[in-house]
Amino acid sequence: MSVPFLDLRRQAQSVGANLPDAVDRVISSGTYLLGPELELFEQQFALWAGSTFAVGVATGTDAIELALRALEIGPGDEVVTQATTCVPTVAAIERAGARPVLCDVDLSTGSLDPESLEGAIGAKTRAIIPVHLYGQCANLQAVAAAAGEIPVIEDCAQAHGTRLNGRRAGSIGQLGAFSFYPTKNLGALGDAGAVVTDDEELANRLRQLRCYGQSERYLHEVAGVNSRLDEIQAAMLNAKLLLLDGWIARRREIAGRYLEAFEDSPLSLLRPRPGTEHAFHLFVVRASDRDALRSELETKGIGTMVHYPLAIHQQPAYRRLGNGPVPLNNSERICSEILSLPLFPELTDDEVSEVIEAVTLASANLQPLSTD
């Protein structure tokens, strides 16, 4: 049996006629931007996320950039985030005009390391962006303790459905930035994003910034951008949001089988932190010979991916960020060891069993990872 890493066609089939019906509804309305579908989605997503306001934007990268700009963070300011993340996190910081400062991660979870964060905070630090990587909630209590009065913007691109002590990711910091890229737990049929917050003033600034800085039609009081979540994507997200909790429950069910099956294997598992509810956007293992394991799984028809093969400062475009205030050894190490296994709600039980059997056989001769 061949098992794909991801098959978005299955999700579209599971949503059924609601997707084409949503498109027809938008076309018939004659309103394609900043209309009723977006208004409904912002209301429903804010409610689902446990926040007072949600502001739809064009991409998850825009969500981070506009969150920073809403806080009036820009040139001359520094923003601390982790070195193990997807490039859009730091791209958004630079697009806002600020300088990214990298801190290290914890090997057992892949999340931001609080001790490293403390060392990375400096006199010019104006915001901290913890990344809820893979659907694992960052240690936000420790982040808040280190941050003090510094604003915290949660990068929730992989955290739809993650909870910390009962609160949804995104509703804990001053702002939460979400991506609805098609592969996310809640994905559009293209690019889309949103920022959530409980602060009405910040929400109003975000709405202004996303539409060229307009306070009213053709009156531009600040320099903004064009970053609007269009009506068709909002309609798609409205249809999918109704199914999201069920999809997340299925992700957790599959992840539970993996965690149990690989408990005594040579693989190191990135386990949920106590007090958190992992959303399992990805199921990631660490292996002493990741490339050999991946190659063997490929021969068995099991799709895998690596999220991510290089830490930010190892990317050619961002090597200049490697000379920061703290070492990034864990980030470099984890990027050489991690492997993402198939996990999406439409995987069948038989496919999950096939993955477990293949991984168990392929990893049997690996050496356990050292704890040094």
Strand partners of residue 103: 82
10 Å CB burial of residue 72 (0-12, 13-18, 19+) is: exposed
* 308 pLDDT higher than 90: yes
On whether both 80 and 193 belong to a single domain, the answer is yes
Same domain, yes or no: 181 and 37: yes
Domains of the chain: total: 2
Helix (H) or strand (E) holding 255: helix 244-261
Rounded distance between C-alpha atoms, residue 297 and residue 358, angstroms: 7
Residue 369 maps to a domain: no
How confident is the model over 278-296, as a mean pLDDT? 98
Could you read off the pLDDT of 161-197 as tens digits, one per residue? 999 999 999 999 999 999 999 999 999 999 999 999 9
Report the 3 state secondary structure along 127-150: EEECECHHHCCCCHHHHHHHHCCC
Q: Kind and range of the H or E element at 18?
A: helix 18-29
**Distance (Å, rounded) from C-alpha 190 to C-alpha 179?**
11
Residue 370 placed within a domain: no
Q: In this structure, are 216 and 327 located in the same domain?
A: no
Residue 110, C-beta contacts closer than 8 angstroms, at least 6 positions apart:
84, 133, 134, 136, 270, 284, 334, 338
Q: How far apart are CA 118 and CA 326, in angstroms?
A: 9
Q: What is the pLDDT of residues 210-264, one digit of tens each?
A: 999 998 899 999 999 999 999 999 999 999 999 999 999 999 999 999 999 999 9
Q: Are residues 222 and 277 in the same domain?
A: no
Residue 339 confidence class, pLDDT cut points 50, 70, 90: very high
Look at residue 371 and tell me whether its pLDDT is greater than 80: no
From 221, 241, 261, the end of a domain falls on: 241
DSSP assignment of 217-232: TTEESS---B----HH
Mean pLDDT of 267-289: 95
Instruction: Say what the pLDDT of residue 372 is.
Output: 59
Whether residue 1 is predicted with pLDDT greater than 90 in this model: the reply is no
Q: Specify the CATH number for the domain of residue 275.
A: 3.90.1150.10
Percent of the chain, pLDDT > 90?
Answer: 97
Give CA–CA dist 192/59, Å, rounded: 4
Of the three residues 241, 265, 281, the one that is the final residue of a domain is: 241
Residue 41 lies in a domain: yes
Integer Cα distance of 364 and 107 in angstroms = 22
Distances in Å between the alpha carbon of 195 and those of 53, 280, 347?
8, 21, 30
Residue 370: the pLDDT is 80
Q: Are residues 100 and 136 in the same domain?
A: yes
Task: Answer with the one of 241, 258, 288 that is the final residue of a domain.
Answer: 241
Total residues found in the chain within this entry: 372
pLDDT in tens, 3-46: 999 999 999 999 999 999 999 999 999 999 999 999 999 999 99
- The pair of structure tokens assigned to 100 is 């990214």
Residues 230 and 266 in one domain: no
Same domain, 210 and 250: no
Supply the mean pLDDT for the chain.
Answer: 97
User: Does 172 share its domain with 113?
Assistant: yes
- On whether both 173 and 193 belong to a single domain, the answer is yes
Read off the CATH number of the domain in which 183 is found: 3.40.640.10
- Is residue 40 included in any domain, yes or no? yes
Report percent pLDDT > 70 for the chain: 99
What 3-state DSSP class applies to 78? strand
* Model confidence pLDDT, tens digit, residues 68-77: 999 999 999 9
DSSP 297: H
Whether 183 is in a domain gets the answer: yes
User: Do residue 49 and residue 185 come from a single domain?
Assistant: yes
The answer to whether residues 204 and 107 belong to one domain is: yes
Range(s) of the domain holding residue 45: 8-241
Instruction: Kindly state whether residue 45 falls inside one of the protein's structural domains.
Output: yes
Residues 194, 85 share a domain = yes
Residue 66 lies in a domain: yes
